Structure 1
């Protein structure tokens, strides 16, 4: 299955790239510049493509992203600290981001005669990101079947959509994913901050998976308090 992987340079998508390279035919990585706070993650995606020996395309949709206002990932809005599933993390939603990116990716896949587009959405994303849920994945596939009917047959490959980030760490480790060569932090500093939702989720995932975390965090222990606080709120 000739597959293009949408790769942000983060733990999930880099793990997916290594999975596809091992189990299918990886023909390229696709990244998007949507006007995110920092481009650091794109450098990690480029490094992944070089490591796996495939082309890396970066599509500039920053002009579109500039109109998707209100998100901490694109605007001058503070990135919230705490557990990934907290209500405060809705500040990191970029409206319709995955639908926009996937529509472009499917066009490229059809043009390049690819069989599949792979995306690393996972079960932990379901809390706050509606375009990461199984219902969205199924509906998007149905829509593309109509959009490309008679021209191309492209599958949306989302193997992580019902599993946890800890499961992704386990899977990534089985495919020798170099986790130290991935970037998750929303703040884009010299080191992972250890406090934003995606840092907390990353740190917790390694712990739950029982895999050594090679990440350099500014605050490596914050995740414990954040996870405990979220669990306490869930009990109420």
Structure 2
């Protein structure tokens, strides 16, 4: 059995890959160099893929920085400090990123005969991105069922798996530790200046998750909670 795993190199996608591995899937990680603010997370993805000794780690090159509109692709937009009380979608949101990534993953899955696509979206401890919600995944699944030769002609459904979608960061850390995921290889910081900043949304959520889980985060930070 084959599974395409969307692998960013961050905590969630790495734990998601560990879940797929625990279910005995042959792993086909898919990462993206979309001209994001930094390449550190992508280097982490390469290390995670090597850790699992995958057959192939495919990295897609595209230029989502041409869109603009996100602090992760436009260096003129500052990455803000974490504001966990805000109800606004933060400037680190990348327009339609998961829609684009899942579309690539769907095509790749069909091409290699994979039955599953794993994506580490989370709808509890996250930054409020609309493309991380169960509603989005449900609608994409319906789209996938109508958009491939595999599903329409061959009646082979490609299932979108979201094993982390209803887990807290605490639970994700616990699950990753239980599955012996290489959390020490991951990088989650939005700023990407080398060492994690410990101050952006992603760092704060990650640090909080490790603290609540009772584990020491194995990566280094400029400053901690």
- On whether the aligned pair clears a TM of 0.5, the verdict is yes
Q: Is the 8 A contact 1:126 1:133 kept in 2?
A: no
Instruction: Name the structure 2 match of 1:219.
Output: 223
One of 175, 179, 182 as aligned partner of 2:179: 175
Alpha-carbon distance between aligned partners in 2 of 1:40 and 1:205, rounded to the nearest angstrom:
21
* Runs of 4+ residues over 4 Å off in structure 1: none
Q: How many residues align?
A: 219
Instruction: Name the structure 2 match of 1:230.
Output: none
For the residue of structure 1 that corresponds to 2:90, the secondary structure is: helix
Per the alignment, do residues 38 and 169 of structure 1 end up closer, same or farther by CA in structure 2, a change over 3 Å counting? same
Kindly state the Cα deviation for residue 108 of structure 1 after the two structures are TM-superposed. Answer: 0.5
State how 1:123-162 maps to structure 2 within 5 Å. 123-124=123-124, 128-148=128-148, 149-151=152-154, 152-162=156-166
Alpha-carbon distance between aligned partners in 2 of 1:83 and 1:185, rounded to the nearest angstrom:
15
Alpha-carbon distance between aligned partners in 2 of 1:133 and 1:73, rounded to the nearest angstrom:
20
Deviations 1:31-62 (A, max 9, x none): 01111101111111111111111111100122
Instruction: Name the structure 1 match of 2:72.
Output: 73
For the residue of structure 1 that corresponds to 2:157, the secondary structure is: coil
Alpha-carbon distance between aligned partners in 1 of 2:126 and 2:182, rounded to the nearest angstrom:
26
For the residue of structure 2 that corresponds to 1:66, the secondary structure is: helix
For the residue of structure 2 that corresponds to 1:121, the secondary structure is: coil
Instruction: Name the structure 1 match of 2:210.
Output: 206
What runs of 5+ residues in structure 2 fail to find an aligned partner? none
Instruction: Name the structure 2 match of 1:186.
Output: 190
Kindly state the Cα deviation for residue 84 of structure 1 after the two structures are TM-superposed. Answer: 4.8
Tell me if 1:11 matches 2:11. yes
Name the structure with the higher helix share: 1
What runs of 5+ residues in structure 1 fail to find an aligned partner? 222-236
Q: Is the 8 A contact 1:82 1:195 kept in 2?
A: yes
Alpha-carbon distance between aligned partners in 2 of 1:126 and 1:134, rounded to the nearest angstrom:
13
Per the alignment, do residues 42 and 127 of structure 1 end up closer, same or farther by CA in structure 2, a change over 3 Å counting? closer
Kindly state the Cα deviation for residue 188 of structure 1 after the two structures are TM-superposed. Answer: 1.0
Q: Is the 8 A contact 2:88 2:128 kept in 1?
A: no
Per the alignment, do residues 220 and 89 of structure 1 end up closer, same or farther by CA in structure 2, a change over 3 Å counting? farther
Instruction: Name the structure 2 match of 1:233.
Output: none
Q: Is the 8 A contact 1:120 1:160 kept in 2?
A: yes
Alpha-carbon distance between aligned partners in 1 of 2:140 and 2:186, rounded to the nearest angstrom:
27
Kindly state the Cα deviation for residue 67 of structure 1 after the two structures are TM-superposed. Answer: 3.2
TM-score, length of structure 1 as denominator length: 0.88
Query: Which is worse superposed, 194-203 or 84-93?
Result: 84-93
